[in-house]
Each structure stands twice: as structure tokens, then as C-alpha cells.
Structure 1
Amino acid sequence: MGFIVRVLISAVAAMFTAYLLKPAVKVENFTTALILALVLALLNVIVKPLLVILTFPVTIVTLGLFLFVINAIIILLAAKLVPGFRVDGFWWALLFSIIMAIINSVLSGLAGSN
């Protein structure tokens, strides 16, 4: 049950973030946002740990700031995989990932999920 709530919260956060970044980021509808949330969850479980391990020295040198770049890469990869989700470039993907993380955190706090 917790996973379903987290996916729903991520879908709402993706819709709201896309609304805030309207010209550069587009999510067609809530179904696309749900698929995006599932794909992001899958990419965060499979691809992100591999990228973190491969870029560990760079992450150490940049004091962890390179993790933002990894998040942007994950968003760009999701944009390639999910039809109906579009991001105009790397910087918009970076901004999308930061804003979505903040909104996701606030909504998770309001929902009371861990």
C-alpha cells in the first residue's frame, strides 16, 4: 500500500512541477504522470545505483553535487521512455528534478507517508 501512495504522490508532484515549468516541460495527462512516476521509480532502483557507483569519484570531488546531474540524466532518460512526457533540455531536467523533489517531499509530509 505504501508504494501505491508514493507513486500517486510522485504523479501529482510531476503534474504540478510540469505546470510550473509549462513551456519547457510537458506532461499530457494524469495517466502519463502515473506512467512517469512508475518509470522514475524503476529507473531510480535499477539505473541510478549503477550511475552513482560509476561516478563515485566525481561525486566525492564535487561534495555530492554531481548527484543532481545524475537526477537530471534519469529525468532525460524517462522523457525518452514515456510517451507524452517532454523536457526541452538538460537544465530544464535539472530544474524539474529539484522542484519535483521538493514538492514530493512536501506532499509526502502532508500525506504522512514515510
Structure 2
Amino acid sequence: MTKVILKYLSIILTIYLLSMLIHTIYIGDTLSLLIMGLVLLIINLLLKPFLLLITLPLSILTLGLFTFIVNAWTILIADHFVSGVNMGGFLDSLLASFIIVILHHLLRDMNKPSKHY
């Protein structure tokens, strides 16, 4: 359960920070941001495994880098369903997918208990 919450937090935090830095990413209000995070989380849970399976040969050829393209596609799909958020296009979604992955891993590592030997 905490993995899902961390993923949700990394999604909404990244989209918010990118909207502050990049003028083509627009967030109408806080509720739209929260809905965007929820829609993207649901798409990642339901649709993303299917997309990764379809694009598996390309992912193998690019040594896994094509998964960032799939992440950008899922962001664009979620952007289509939420009216109060505009991600600005494919390149902005690709940048968001990079930062979401990095931020998610940072949050996940902070949540792990430290090992003392």
C-alpha cells in the first residue's frame, strides 16, 4: 500500500514542480492536479503492463530506455482524460516521466529502514 501512495505522491509532486518550471504545463487548480495523479496512477496500474508487453521487443533493443516512452504515453493518455491539466505535449510528458521515476526512487529509498551493522 505504501508503494502506491509513494507513487501517487511522486506523480503529483512532479507535475506540480514541472508546472512551476515549464510554462507549457498548465494546472487549473489543486483538485485537477489530484485527479490527474489519480488517473495516471490508475492508468499505470491497468494499462501500462499491457503497453510494456506490446513494446517488449523495442524495450529489449533499447536496453529498457523505451519504457520512458511508454511512461510518456501514459501521461498523455491521463492528460486527455483530465480537463484541468495540460501537459503541453510529448516532450514535456517525456521529461515528466524521467522526473517521476527519479523522484519515486528517491522517495522509496527514504522510506526504507536503514541497515545498521
**Given the two structures, how large is their TM-score scaled by the length of structure 1?**
0.82
Query: What amino acid sits opposite 1:26 in the alignment?
Result: Y
1:15: Cα distance to partner? Answer: 1.1
In structure 2, relative to structure 1, the CA distance for the partners of 1:9 and 1:99 (3 Å cut) is: closer
In structure 2, relative to structure 1, the CA distance for the partners of 1:102 and 1:28 (3 Å cut) is: farther
Larger radius of gyration: 2
**Superposition map of 1:96-107 within 5 A:** 96-107=96-107
1:104: Cα distance to partner? Answer: 3.9
**Given the two structures, how large is their TM-score scaled by the length of structure 2?**
0.80
CA-atom RMSD, angstroms?
A: 2.3
Task: Give the aligned partner of residue 72 of structure 1.
Answer: 72
Task: Give the aligned partner of residue 63 of structure 2.
Answer: 63
Retained in 1: the 8 A contact 2:3–2:108?
Answer: no
Retained in 2: the 8 A contact 1:11–1:34?
Answer: yes
Of the structure 1 ranges 82-91 and 62-71, higher mean CA displacement relative to structure 2 is found in 82-91
Deviations along 1:59-101, one digit per CA (max 9) or x if unpaired, are 1011111101001100110110111110222111101221233
Task: Give the aligned partner of residue 17 of structure 2.
Answer: 16
Retained in 2: the 8 A contact 1:69–1:94?
Answer: yes
Q: Residues of 1 paired with 2:16 and 2:107: CA distance?
A: 13
Retained in 2: the 8 A contact 1:79–1:85?
Answer: yes
In structure 2, relative to structure 1, the CA distance for the partners of 1:53 and 1:9 (3 Å cut) is: closer
Q: Residues of 2 paired with 1:91 and 1:12: CA distance?
A: 18
Task: Give the aligned partner of residue 34 of structure 2.
Answer: 34
Please give the secondary structure, in 1, of the residue aligned with 2:26: strand
Count of residues in correspondence between the two structures: 112
Please give the secondary structure, in 2, of the residue aligned with 1:98: helix
Identity of aligned pairs, percent? 32
Task: Give the aligned partner of residue 88 of structure 2.
Answer: 88
